[in-house]
Structure 1
């Protein structure tokens, strides 16, 4: 989670590198940085040096030309992290293509790898001039696509924000409807109880018949007064948002697997330690230095996994074979 400027821990012993003012004597002192060089200096020094116009950084050995408008408060305590975040944000605005912009997943992965290589060089200052030249050339050649992708990302963000507002509104309407329904139910129960007391006191009919008739009327009212779903009106007004919400709901329903399904039962083989005799591994398992945390089953399963791991991949069609493929046969590991 990114911390706000007000959440950054402020130490009393922090000092301005230029005027040596500290927060102990001046609690309202603000240390500012410039994204050109990320050297700290207090707000008073910034006003004193850069009010008349751009000037060189007063930090010894820097000399970069800085402007007052670019000074800001530091978000992270570590200036290196601050610099990395700025670089990644800048690169992400330029290299903003998505998977839908590529013909295959391999091309998209190569594109991401190239972007990460450029980001790495800028962060750790490796061939900075050459890397900056490549970034500027790419930005110049793909100016239209960058603007189009930025507009598309902004539209998706607005759509998600509207969807969140709609979901909160639906939840509030559902809570209000539940409160109203609860109040109406309480009033109906009170009316039924009062009606039963009145009928028992004023009429000479059988009390059991009066109670039975009242219960029948109560069930009939509950059936006719059943509330309508609140989302029907919202789906008519916001069809695009409703489709997006349904798609996100389907994605959330997919079970998460931290091991990407590696522990799932394979469709190619059945394994059981009881019907396989491996004297070599049993001898290793009985060694004293392997008695803790060593399982013969793990060795067997690893061999089986490596043997059958590439059967689902088709280099020519780049897709998985059908489940009813007659060439896919299930192997059973049994006693040799």
Structure 2
């Protein structure tokens, strides 16, 4: 709580343990603390003792080495609360595992309980040396995952801030539109009322009911049009809000960036991330082994009138001609696109169509030509 001159009343009666000065004698005195020992001393003593470099704490009985850049003003009135907040912030900065890194919700709850136990031990000064050693070891072994989770937290905080800013801007635009619409309706209603009064004054008593009905219809049409426009604007804003939320969504995930998760030692139940094996280089010819391809399956035989005759043709088989080799080479050329010229095939197809040849006749002719070339 601050007094009229801006001085915190909790420091009015405090005395510096080094120079024994108090705020009663020096109203502009400012007290600082260091998170190493949380001993409070005035700013002038801090400048005088620690400006030349690190030094021991001047408070009697305290042997901790302090540095000037670590001194800061106290945030909470109770120094115990100040210390607990600093410890909690430091521990959660190191043990910042996320729920999606664990195998189950139970394991994540156990991790949260374990983290609270560590914070309690440090706050209560129970096994401080052992707990600090465990934290330091964990921080060294899991530096990459700690940095990745910190980046995720910063990204989520930035996305949340952008979303809040967007919602505030939308609310401001809606308020302005509502005020403008209210003014427009008020002016329109005033003009309509004046026109209605003029028409009533210039017309007869028999025309009053007709003029009133006509005016009522006009008001209903305007109200319906206004509601339709409001619904359209509301739907458009909802669509824009959904698009913005998807665009600002978190693109990083711990599983994608943290690498393989080994046993963290201090933390149990972490999900094991499997690293995919590197893909082997693709060989379209599969080692040039006939009949072994992964993009087609070669059959024992294919129906063809001309090829059926070759199976019993001793003249063709005497020189070592093999139909299976012909099948393999033909299918490889077909699926791999070897020797495929689309323009020539289209011209040949058009020529056969003009001559009235059927597709089966053309296929057998091509097969005969290929076999003749192999025999030759």
CA distance in 2, matches of 1:207, 1:241: 54
Between Structure 1 and Structure 2, which shows a larger proportion of helix residues?
Answer: 2
Matched residues, number: 240
1:112-166 C-alpha deviation (Å, 9 max, x unpaired): 2221222122112222221111001111111111111111111111121122222
* RMSD across aligned positions (CA): 2.3
CA distance in 1, matches of 2:198, 2:14: 81
CA distance in 1, matches of 2:226, 2:109: 56
Give how far 1:228 is off.
Answer: 2.7
Give how far 1:92 is off.
Answer: 0.5
CA distance in 2, matches of 1:200, 1:235: 45
- Partner residue of 2:277? none
Aligned-partner SS, 1:144: helix
Aligned-partner SS, 2:230: coil
TM-score by length of 2: 0.59
1:21-80 C-alpha deviation (Å, 9 max, x unpaired): 111111110111111111111001001101111111111111211111110011112222
Q: Report the CA distance shift for 1:128/1:237 in structure 2 as closer, same or farther (over 3 A).
A: same
1:42 aligns with 2:45: no
CA distance in 1, matches of 2:95, 2:192: 69
1:142-194 C-alpha deviation (Å, 9 max, x unpaired): 11111111111111111211222222222222222222222222122212211
Give how far 1:9 is off.
Answer: 4.0
- The answer (yes or no) to whether the contact 2:15–2:23 under 8 Å persists in 1 is yes
| Bigger Cα displacement from structure 2, 166-175 vs 155-164 | 166-175
1:10 aligns with 2:10: yes
CA distance in 2, matches of 1:232, 1:162: 21
- The answer (yes or no) to whether the contact 1:36–1:64 under 8 Å persists in 2 is yes
1:83-125 C-alpha deviation (Å, 9 max, x unpaired): 1110000001111112221111221122122212221221122
Unaligned runs of 5+ in 2: 1-5, 249-376
CA distance in 2, matches of 1:206, 1:75: 78
Unaligned runs of 5+ in 1: 1-5, 246-336
1:239 aligns with 2:236: no
Q: Report the CA distance shift for 1:89/1:23 in structure 2 as closer, same or farther (over 3 A).
A: same
CA distance in 2, matches of 1:109, 1:200: 77
CA distance in 2, matches of 1:244, 1:8: 46
- Partner residue of 1:219? 220
CA distance in 2, matches of 1:114, 1:244: 36
1:64 aligns with 2:64: yes
- The answer (yes or no) to whether the contact 1:235–1:242 under 8 Å persists in 2 is no
1:177-226 C-alpha deviation (Å, 9 max, x unpaired): 22222222212221221111221233456111112112212221222233
- Partner residue of 2:87? 87
1:228 aligns with 2:230: yes
Larger Rg: 2
- The answer (yes or no) to whether the contact 1:192–1:218 under 8 Å persists in 2 is no
- The answer (yes or no) to whether the contact 1:8–1:76 under 8 Å persists in 2 is no
TM-score by length of 1: 0.66
- Partner residue of 1:274? none
Q: Report the CA distance shift for 1:116/1:45 in structure 2 as closer, same or farther (over 3 A).
A: same
**Matching of residues 1-336 of structure 1 within 5 Å:** 9-204=9-204, 206-226=207-227, 227-229=229-231, 230-239=233-242, 242=245
Give how far 1:8 is off.
Answer: 5.5
- Partner residue of 2:303? none
CA distance in 1, matches of 2:160, 2:54: 41
CA distance in 1, matches of 2:17, 2:190: 76
CA distance in 2, matches of 1:50, 1:82: 22
Q: Report the CA distance shift for 1:179/1:7 in structure 2 as closer, same or farther (over 3 A).
A: farther
